């Protein structure tokens, strides 16, 4: 059995082979379908092939998998022997892949099936169209801003009433031509987006996983299909924590020795598009009435009290305990005004300073406290004045 490493590029692939414990270079081959079929004729049924995950690695792995015993697509971030190598060339990368595959030390990634890859293409096309529409809208808003046009009184500038209001504004002729061109592009991208969403709905209408995901508040068809396209087979995760870690929503944890664990922000690993859709769905669920909104408010209040986010937030609505009278317990601090009323409140507190609840302790030493000075010899302190 041979272990073959392929360092894949856009137009070629560097080949290295490990056989009987010896590693040798096999040169370069093309990555066009006819070149791969010609090279596959030299392979044996018991050979195994390793290549890194790139743009065209899925197509190459799909073509070679029926012809050999095993095809492994490795994770480039976890292949430390390649990522941290001091000498990094195509031949060295192919040799390292072949050697790690022969030793069974290569971190393997999950390869999606054809339907999952099709859903990923649909979701990414929808994402690109949404970003393009946002860019066009921002350009229109920029033109209006630099020409001192007031804010549109309607909710949507690009609706029917919004465009009617826009047509009545005083803008130079060249700017009008730019606005017309941007609006035409916006309409074109809107039609394309509707077509893509129609294809997504057709693929999702009979999918039980999508129907199950849509029962969660805040998740619609687009979010459900995005999650399904990113995850693929949910049964490959042993517990929910692994699924959360795969999507990059788990917090970073740093701990060493006897020190406490320090939790940071989320790792943001995995597919950023699916993670962004889930975050938007979470904000939508937090605005709708229900148990998820109550859970969000409870977690948000706890973060505001204990976390770093409380530095720039107003103090209203927080259960903060502050000392009121020494040795007589704590009380709930009243709500402090913020914004424009904060300076007046601070001045009011400075004018009305409450009296001390108990006398100040004597700070003298025991041998000094035995001989108290006479009344006439006392020094004029602030209290006596």
Tens of pLDDT along 164-195?
999 999 999 999 999 999 999 999 999 999 99
Percent share of the chain, pLDDT over 70: 78
Q: Which residues pair with 29 in a beta bridge?
A: 13
**Where among 52, 69, 102 does a domain terminate?**
102
Q: Which of 183-187, 224-228, 294-298 has the lowest mean pLDDT?
A: 294-298
Task: Please state, in angstroms and as integers, the Cα–Cα distance from residue 181 to each residue in 10, 116, 174, 184, following that order.
Answer: 36, 36, 11, 5
In a domain, 229, yes or no: yes
Q: How far, in Å, CA of 279 to CA of 223, rounded?
A: 10
Task: Please state, in angstroms and as integers, the Cα–Cα distance from residue 367 to each residue in 215, 362, 374, following that order.
Answer: 78, 12, 16
- Both 65 and 156 in a single domain? no
Q: What is the mean pLDDT of residues 335-342?
A: 61
In a domain, 338, yes or no: no
- Domain encompassing residue 211: 206-252+266-296
- Both 197 and 238 in a single domain? no
In a domain, 171, yes or no: yes
As a whole number, the mean pLDDT across the chain is 82
Q: Please state whether beta strands 48-52 and 70-74 pair in parallel, antiparallel, or not at all (unpaired).
A: parallel
**Where among 296, 317, 349 does a domain terminate?**
296
Spatial neighbors of 160 by CB under 8 A, at least 6 apart, are none
Query: From the CB of residue 16, how many other CB atoms can be counted at a distance below 10 Å?
Result: 25
Q: Give the per-residue pLDDT at 381.
A: 52
Answer yes or no: is pLDDT of 279 > 70: yes
Q: Are 250 and 244 within 8 A, CB to CB?
A: yes
- Both 13 and 51 in a single domain? yes
- Both 214 and 196 in a single domain? no
Question: How many domains does one find in the chain?
Answer: 3
Answer yes or no: is pLDDT of 26 > 50: yes
Q: How far, in Å, CA of 130 to CA of 108, rounded?
A: 33
- Both 172 and 234 in a single domain? no
More confident residue, 378 or 235: 235
- Both 274 and 242 in a single domain? yes
Q: Give the per-residue pLDDT at 296.
A: 87
pLDDT digits (tens, 9 = 90+) for 55-69: 899 899 999 999 999
Q: How far, in Å, CA of 73 to CA of 60, rounded?
A: 10
Residue 5's nearest CA partner among 52, 66, 62 is: 52
In a domain, 371, yes or no: no
Q: Which of 153-157, 247-251, 364-368 has the lowest mean pLDDT?
A: 364-368
Answer yes or no: is pLDDT of 308 > 60: no
- Both 91 and 163 in a single domain? no
Q: What is the mean pLDDT of residues 40-49?
A: 92
More confident residue, 343 or 370: 343
- Both 135 and 192 in a single domain? yes
- Both 283 and 239 in a single domain? yes
Q: Give the per-residue pLDDT at 332.
A: 41
In a domain, 313, yes or no: no
Cα Rg of the chain, angstroms = 33
Answer yes or no: is pLDDT of 104 > 60: yes
Matching residue, tokens 């860019």: 135
Q: Are 249 and 269 within 8 A, CB to CB?
A: no
More confident residue, 338 or 251: 251
In a domain, 353, yes or no: no
Residue 191 buriedness (CB in 10 A; 0-12 / 13-18 / 19+): exposed
Handedness of CA 146, 149, 155, 161 (dihedral sign): negative
In a domain, 91, yes or no: yes
Q: What is the mean pLDDT of residues 282-304?
A: 83
Q: What is the mean pLDDT of residues 265-286?
A: 90
pLDDT digits (tens, 9 = 90+) for 122-172: 999 999 999 999 999 999 999 999 999 999 999 999 999 999 999 999 999
Q: What CATH number did the domain enclosing 19 receive?
A: 3.30.420.40
**Where among 42, 70, 102 does a domain terminate?**
102
- Both 95 and 131 in a single domain? no
In a domain, 120, yes or no: yes
- Both 10 and 83 in a single domain? yes
Assign 87 a pLDDT band (cuts: 50, 70, 90): confident
Q: Are 243 and 231 within 8 A, CB to CB?
A: yes
> In the structure encoding, which two tokens stand for residue 341, read together?
């009323």
Q: Are 9 and 92 within 8 A, CB to CB?
A: no
Answer yes or no: is pLDDT of 51 > 90: yes
Handedness of CA 156, 157, 159, 164 (dihedral sign): positive
- Both 188 and 223 in a single domain? no
Q: Give the per-residue pLDDT at 351.
A: 63
Q: How far, in Å, CA of 283 to CA of 272, rounded?
A: 17
């Amino acid at each position: 059995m041979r272990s073959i490493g392929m360092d894949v590029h856009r137009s070629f692939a560097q080949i290295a082979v490990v056989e009987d414990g010896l590693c040798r270079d096999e040169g370069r081959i093309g990555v066009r379908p006819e070149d791969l079929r010609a090279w596959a004729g030299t392979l044996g049924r018991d050979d195994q092939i390793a290549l890194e995950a790139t743009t065209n690695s899925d197509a190459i792995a799909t073509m070679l998998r029926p012809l050999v015993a095993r095809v492994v697509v490795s994770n480039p971030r976890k292949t430390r022997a390649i990522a941290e190598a001091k000498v990094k060339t195509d031949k060295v990368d192919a040799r390292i892949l072949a050697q790690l595959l022969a030793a069974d030390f290569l971190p393997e990634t999950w390869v999606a099936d054809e339907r999952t890859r099709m859903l990923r293409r649909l979701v990414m096309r929808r994402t690109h169209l949404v970003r393009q529409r946002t860019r066009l809208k921002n350009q229109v808003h920029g033109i209006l801003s630099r020409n001192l046009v007031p804010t549109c009184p309607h909710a949507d500038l690009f609706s029917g009433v919004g465009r009617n209001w826009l047509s009545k504004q005083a803008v130079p002729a060249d700017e009008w031509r730019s606005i017309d061109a941007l609006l035409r592009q916006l309409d074109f991208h809107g039609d394309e987006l509707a077509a893509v969403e129609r294809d997504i709905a057709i693929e999702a209408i009979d999918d039980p996983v999508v129907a199950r995901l849509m029962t969660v508040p805040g998740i619609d068809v687009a979010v459900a299909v995005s999650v399904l396209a990113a995850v693929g087979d949910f049964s490959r995760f042993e517990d929910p924590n692994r699924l959360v870690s795969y999507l990059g929503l788990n917090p970073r944890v740093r701990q060493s020795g006897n020190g406490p664990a320090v939790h940071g922000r989320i790792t943001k690993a995995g597919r950023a598009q699916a993670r962004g859709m889930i975050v938007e769905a979470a904000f939508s669920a937090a605005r709708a009435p229900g148990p998820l909104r109550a859970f969000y408010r409870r977690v948000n209040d706890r973060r505001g009290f204990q976390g770093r986010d409380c530095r720039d937030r107003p103090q209203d609505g927080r259960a903060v305990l502050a000392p009121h009278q020494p040795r007589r317990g704590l009380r709930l601090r009243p709500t402090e005004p913020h914004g424009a009323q904060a300076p007046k409140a601070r001045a009011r507190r400075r004018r009305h300073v409450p009296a001390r609840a108990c006398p100040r302790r004597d700070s003298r030493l025991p041998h000094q406290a035995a001989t108290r000075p006479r009344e006439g010899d006392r020094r004029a302190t602030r209290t006596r004045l």
